Homo-oligomer: A and B are copies of this chain.
């Protein structure tokens, strides 16, 4: 990665010590901001939605249940600022604006989609697992099995 030159003031004292994976574990790592945008509540959904093609503002708003105008606009601005989303505005009235993924945006969106798909595809396992653990707790509230003492496998 040839990306470790910018950010004035970003010292690298103990940073190098943080394993090969690196910088993400450092508090001041610039990757974290990007990660926040991409993994934000609406960022994930916007990226996945745009993977299906260009959308207008209202289209996105209708498609992504529960998002407010403000948060959708803000999320789109974050993603545009990171270079993941392209905003194309046509000088007509009433205003016509289209949002699409940049080539780079397609790449992140695919990663995000992988995560989203995994969760949706495994929701059954997750929910049933949660239920089983709850039952085990109700039946045996003793400090024996569940969250209680357990010897390593």
Q: Which residues of A contact B (CB under 8 A)?
A: 1-7, 9-10, 13, 17-31, 34-36, 38-41, 44-45, 48-56, 59, 63-66, 77-78, 80-83, 87-91, 98, 100-101, 103-104, 106-108, 111-127, 129-130, 133, 143, 145-150, 152-153
Contacts and interface: CB of A to CB of B under 8 A. Distances in A.
Contacts of A117: 17, 20-21
A88 B3 contact: no
Contacts of A91: 143, 149
Contact of A52 (B4, B50, B81): B4
B48 A21 contact: yes
B153 A26 contact: no
A122 to B, nearest CB: 7
B150 A9 contact: no
A119 B104 CA distance: 10
14 contacts: A6-B53, A7-B50, A7-B51, A13-B52, A24-B116, A28-B65, A29-B65, A81-B130, A90-B149, A91-B149, A104-B129, A108-B118, A108-B119, A111-B114
Given A30-B127, A83-B133, A111-B114, A20 B51 contact: no
Contacts of A129: 83, 104
